[in-house]
């Protein structure tokens, strides 16, 4: 118990130090990819922490924890791994009973829904993962406790854990056909495999050999972070192929270029939308050659021929706000604060002067219902136009299950030889937004607009 928290503490300090180093490199030297921190966390907590934890554990004797030598003296293992009275009471009379009641509720749900929603309920995936982690940790903590509650737990719960985790792992695999592989589902399946193996080991080997699960966990963790079988490489490849196949079936991908198809089948549309949303949210779309046209403009409807919002729940809404922090303004001539309501014809956002020349910036609604932020110079000369569809598209792609945007996700820049505009979203709400199909758009944005005149 002490070794576990000691390993967790040292690993946490190490991760904090590595995080600060990565932040310093990103700030002072060169840009660092966003997933570097995640990979560092995987290595530290999955590999280094496990190795350090094992190094702190004593050499286990052949006797059972809590047992005694033949002369009646406490065994070496019992002496090396003492269990405090507080921990014994907490595990035996609080954690184990609560886990037992929760298990009963979980089993009742599975039995009632085994032929229905169990296989499609997305809530069950994280719930059962949390349950599996809890059971394994409690089992390990209860290994050195010799009372009726702990003995019953060690005898019964591994046999309960295996079928529950096995069912959920199968359900997660089946969902790949529906929504494709994501890095989250990859880890859910991988942990399901580990929990199934761990539960089986707990069922057939004595308590003193619980350490067998450690190298298995380390091996699976290593697989999950080393290309080409790591979570991010596998999910990127799967979603890319899923999107590519849907485009090919709809005759929308020809000679490496995407052809818009307004009459694409509903199922194909859904695959295209969900796969592209995942690729967008992970920043992968810009790495795919035949998606470059979309990645450069962020214009989904123009690229694919239909709106990515048509299939959304008409009663749903997305609200995002930018995380607190300063906005870099170096190099810009003016900054305007605005609130945009995409339910009308737009209007003038603001005006400013530079070198005695007047400039205006307007919100213009086009004939197809789109809104552009347009910068005008003297004599009503258009200098630069910015399509707000990219803002809405990114919000819809990354907004599900989130509330906060980082500054890079909230910033959009458009420039040419005459000017540069950066649009920084502070708050955005999208409700019942259906694109330019003739239906009413309900999208409200609070933002700062930074302008540079070249």
Read off the tokens for 122.
Answer: 């997305």
Q: Nearest-CA neighbor of 34 among 409, 411, 428, 423?
A: 409
The conformation of residue 35, written as its DSSP 8-state character, comes to: T
Confidence of residue 40 (pLDDT cuts 50, 70, 90): confident
- HSE of 398, CA atoms in CB hemisphere, 13 A: 22
Q: Which of 312, 430, 423, 434 is nearest to 368 (CA)?
A: 434
pLDDT at 246 over 90: yes
Helix (H) or strand (E) holding 359: strand 357-365
pLDDT (tens digit per residue) in 141-158: 888 888 888 899 999 999
Report whether 213 contacts 201 (CB < 8 A). yes
pLDDT, position 155? 92
Asked if residue 314 has pLDDT above 80, the reply is no
pLDDT digits (tens, 9 = 90+) for 48-66: 888 887 777 665 555 444 4
The answer for residues whose C-beta is within 8 angstroms of residue 270's C-beta and 6 or more apart is 311
Tens digits of per-residue pLDDT, 355-400? Answer: 889 999 988 877 767 788 899 988 889 999 888 888 887 777 765 5
Contacts with 345 (C-beta within 8 Å, 6 or more apart), sequence order: 365
Beta strands 253-254 and 382-387 are: unpaired
Q: Which of 54, 59, 44 is nearest to 14 (CA)?
A: 44
| 30 has a pLDDT exceeding 80 | no
What's residue 5's pLDDT? 79
Kindly state the DSSP code that residue 208 receives in the 8-state scheme.
Answer: G
- Contact (CB, 8 A) for 181 and 239: yes
Instruction: Give the containing element (helix H, strand E) for 267.
Output: helix 266-281
Sign for the CA dihedral angle at 287, 292, 296, 298 comes to negative
Res. 434: pLDDT tops 50? no
Q: Over the stretch 203-226, which tens digit does the pLDDT of each residue have? A: 998 888 888 898 999 899 999 988
Residue 213, CA distances (Å) to 9, 201, 202, 205 in order? 22, 8, 9, 11
pTM, 2 dp? 0.58
């Amino acid at each position: 118990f002490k070794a576990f928290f000691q390993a967790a503490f040292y690993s946490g300090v190490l991760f904090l130090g590595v995080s600060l180093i990565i932040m310093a490199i990103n700030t002072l030297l060169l840009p660092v990819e966003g997933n570097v921190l995640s990979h560092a966390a995987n290595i530290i907590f999955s590999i280094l922490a496990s190795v350090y934890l094992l190094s702190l554990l004593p050499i286990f004797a052949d006797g059972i924890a809590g047992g005694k030598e033949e002369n009646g003296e406490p065994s070496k293992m019992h002496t090396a791994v003492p269990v405090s009275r507080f921990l014994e009471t907490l595990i035996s009379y609080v954690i184990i009973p609560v886990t037992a009641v929760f298990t009963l509720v979980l089993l009742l749900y599975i039995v009632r829904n085994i032929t229905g929603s169990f296989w499609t309920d997305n809530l069950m995936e994280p719930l059962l993962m949390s349950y599996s982690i809890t059971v394994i940790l409690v089992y390990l903590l209860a290994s050195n406790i010799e009372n009726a509650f702990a003995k019953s737990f060690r005898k019964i719960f591994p046999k309960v854990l295996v079928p529950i985790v096995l069912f959920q792992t199968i359900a997660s695999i089946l969902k790949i056909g529906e929504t494709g592989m994501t890095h989250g589902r990859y880890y859910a399946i991988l942990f399901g495999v580990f929990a199934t193996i761990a539960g089986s080991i707990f069922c057939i080997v004595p308590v003193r050999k619980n350490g067998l699960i450690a190298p298995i966990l380390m091996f699976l963790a290593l697989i999950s972070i080393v290309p080409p079988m790591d979570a991010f490489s596998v999910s990127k490849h799967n979603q890319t192929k899923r999107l590519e196949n849907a485009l090919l079936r709809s005759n929308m991908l020809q000679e490496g270029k995407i052809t818009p198809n307004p009459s694409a089948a509903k199922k194909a549309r859904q695959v295209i939308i969900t796969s592209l949303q995942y690729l967008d949210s992970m920043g992968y779309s810009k790495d795919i050659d035949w998606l470059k046209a979309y990645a450069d403009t962020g214009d989904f409807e123009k690229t694919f021929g239909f709106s990515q919002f048509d299939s959304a729940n008409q009663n749903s809404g997305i609200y995002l706000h930018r995380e607190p922090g300063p906005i870099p303004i170096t190099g810009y001539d003016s900054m305007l604060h605005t609130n945009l309501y995409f339910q009308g014809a737009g209007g003038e956002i603001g005006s400013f002067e530079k070198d005695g020349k007047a400039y205006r910036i307007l919100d213009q609604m086009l004939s197809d219902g789109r809104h552009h932020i347009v910068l005008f110079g003297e004599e009503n000369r258009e200098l630069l136009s910015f399509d707000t569809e990219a803002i809405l598209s990114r919000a819809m792609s990354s907004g599900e299950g989130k509330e906060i945007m980082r500054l890079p996700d909230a910033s959009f820049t458009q420039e040419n030889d005459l000017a540069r505009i950066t649009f920084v979203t502070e708050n955005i709400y999208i409700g019942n937004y259906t694109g330019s199909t003739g239906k009413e758009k309900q999208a409200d944005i609070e933002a700062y607009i930074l302008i540079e005149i070249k």
